[in-house]
Amino acid sequence: MAETFDGLTLQVNGETADVTWKQIADMIGYNASEIKELKETGEHTKNAVNISWMMMATTLVFIMQAGFTMVEVGSVRIKNTKSILVKNLLDACVGSVMFYIYGWAFSFGKGNAFLGYNGFVLMSGFNRDGTEIVDPYQYALWTFQYTFCATASTIVSGAVAERTQLFAYLVYTFFLVTVIYPPVAHSIWTDEGWASPYNPNPLFGIGAIDFAGGVVVHVVGGTCALIGSILVGPRQGRFVKNSKIVKQNAVFQVLGTLLLWFGWYGFNCGSTMGLGENLSNSAAKIGVATTLSASSSGTTTILLNFFLDRRFDPAVVCNGILAGLVSITGGCAVVEPYGAFIIGVIGAHVYYFGSKLLVNLKIDDVVDASPVHLGCGIWGAIATTFFCHPITFRDSFSKITNVDNGYGVFYDGAKGGKLLGANLVFLIAAISYVSAIAAPMFFVLKMLRLLRINNIEENKGQDKVMHGGVAYENPTANSNSSIKSVTKT
């Protein structure tokens, strides 16, 4: 049954007939106004369900802020605990203010192929007839997208932890929400974006696929994390022979990872933006893909850790799980479960050997944000173009112009090649753009001596110098004996 402008097209026993609303009303005993009222009630119900779905997903994604905080606190030394807590709180607070004032408008407002320029401060208000200027669904969408932007921002705090000035972090947050994140998001998540599959004239006839932000959130955040880690330099003693830096608490790391995994269901499943048509089916399959990629990556990582390093390190397993989650984010809505499983397995290798590479290059990334978010984000963008299943794609992208072009390389080499080309162009453009902004920003801060704390502050710990004292007042908790058994980096 398909709806037309003046009624319905009904199909009975193989025969079709156009029936007006008045004819339907006469047949079932309702007048036309009552039929219209029923239709409007159905629309209101649909909107209410979609808004409720978005708000539920938003709460899950926001919980990821707590997850990142716990992972980062568990990965640093006790003397820098408050510093990490303050930076993550600022991500949520300062990020939302800036996203409200201009971040939303630049990212999702009407504009051109690269940037939006309308919808500042949501342009909230009421018309003379009492109706809101802003569609209520937009409020739900704003809240949901704010949590995505905040996630991209917080990725960096763990990478450059224990030696970065708070002022520098505030400058970075400002640049990410204002300049870095919006053009990337606008380019692929709006119908005007040059790389968007929703564009009437999509790139290579299909557009790039980044369903839940594998590139927009994780590659963007991971690129900034890598650049920041390089320019701020390693912590004192990090790569000095016979000098070891101990992580604070493996319990916090594991708890944070499980919170992130929990919130990732809102991140991926919630990106359907509603439950109408086939979107509820897509959300269910996305949940399976998210689970399988995370679990297969975590399992693979622990095997790599055992056979190559002869140990079972919970911190490594945690990052392996996150590697699988990042790897599936971009393509979660278009791959089959077996594809998600394979993507997770390969994602584990990308993270594991990427982490080893950082150590060999003497790049100090405290939480391995670069291999997890940048490395696996890149892998996920490429993997999407190989494992994109045409039927799964149509369920999730039914409203795009060229829905029949949604094939991965493994299912149609020619069409899949176009999708691969589109994703590679978008991926390269995103990394190049982010690097062109982030590198000069961090470099200028470094030249002005505003990037890194001094040696005295680093030795004492940022908590004592800037945050009113250590986080744990119990002397036993601050003694060396309390951290002898924790994981060593």
Give the residue among 350, 353, 347, 370 at the shortest CA–CA distance from 296: 347
Average pLDDT over residues 18-40: 64
Among 112-126, 149-163, 310-324, 419-433, where is mean pLDDT lowest? 112-126
pLDDT tens per residue across span 146-199: 999 999 999 999 999 999 999 999 999 999 999 999 999 999 999 999 999 999
Q: What is the pLDDT of residue 212?
A: 97
How much is the average pLDDT of 234-256? Answer: 90
- Between 291 and 137, where is the model more confident? 291
Instruction: Lay out the sheet containing 15-20: strands in order across.
Output: 2-3, 7-12, 15-20
Mean pLDDT of 395-412: 87
Identify the weakest region by mean pLDDT among 140-154, 180-194, 390-404, 418-432.
Answer: 390-404
- For residue 280, the one-letter residue type is S
Do the Cβ atoms of 179 and 433 come closer than 8 Å?
no
The tally of CA atoms less than 13 A away on the side-chain side of residue 166 is: 17
b/e map 41-65, b = 16+ CB within 10 Å: eeeeeebeebbebbeebbebbbbbb
- pLDDT > 70: percent of the chain: 87
pLDDT band at 472 (very low <50, low <70, confident <90, very high): confident
Q: Which residue has the higher pLDDT, 99 or 16?
A: 99
Statement: residue 250 has pLDDT above 70 = yes
Residue 1, token pair as written in the block: 């049954």
Q: Which helix (H) or strand (E) holds 38?
A: helix 32-75
Question: Looking at 317-326, 365-374, 471-480, which range is the least confident one?
Answer: 471-480
Average pLDDT over every residue of 89-96: 92
The predicted structure's pLDDT at residue 36: 60
Q: How confident is the model at residue 373 (pLDDT cuts 50, 70, 90)?
A: very high
pLDDT at position 113? 95
Q: Is the pLDDT of residue 281 over 80?
A: yes
